[in-house]
Structure 1
Amino acid sequence: MKTKLLLIFFLACSISGFSQSYIFGKVKSELGNEIFETIIINTRTDEKVLSDKDGNFMIAAKPSDELRFVKSGYDRFDVRISNENFSKPLDVHLKRVPYLIPEVEIAFQPTGNLKKDSKTLDPPKKVVALNSSLNAYMMTPPSEVGPKLTTPSAFQGQDYSAGHANILGIAKAIFGLVKKKANPLTTANYAETQQFFARIKLELDLSFYTSQGWDEDEIDRFLIYADQTYQLAKKYRNHFNISKISTEMMLAYKEYVKTRKTKS
Structure 2
Amino acid sequence: MLFCISTTTFAQRISGVVTDEDQNPLAAVMVFNLQTEKKSYTNLNGEFTIEASANNELRFIRQGFDRNTKIINEGDFTRPFTISIVRTAQEIEEVQVSKVRLTGDLNTDSRNLTRIDRSAQVQQAVGVPGPPEKPRETPPPTLAKAGIIKYALSNLNFNTLYKNISGDGRRMRSSYKYEDLQDNIAWIRERVGDDYFIKMEIPPDKISEFLQFSMGLKPDINRWIRAKNLSRVLFDLEETLPKYLHR
Q: TM-score range by the shorter chain?
A: 0.3 to 0.5
| TM-score normalized with structure 1 length | 0.40
Q: Rg larger in 1 or in 2?
A: 1
| TM-score normalized with structure 2 length | 0.43
Bigger relative contact order, structure 1 or 2 (CA pairs below 8 A, ≥6 apart): 2
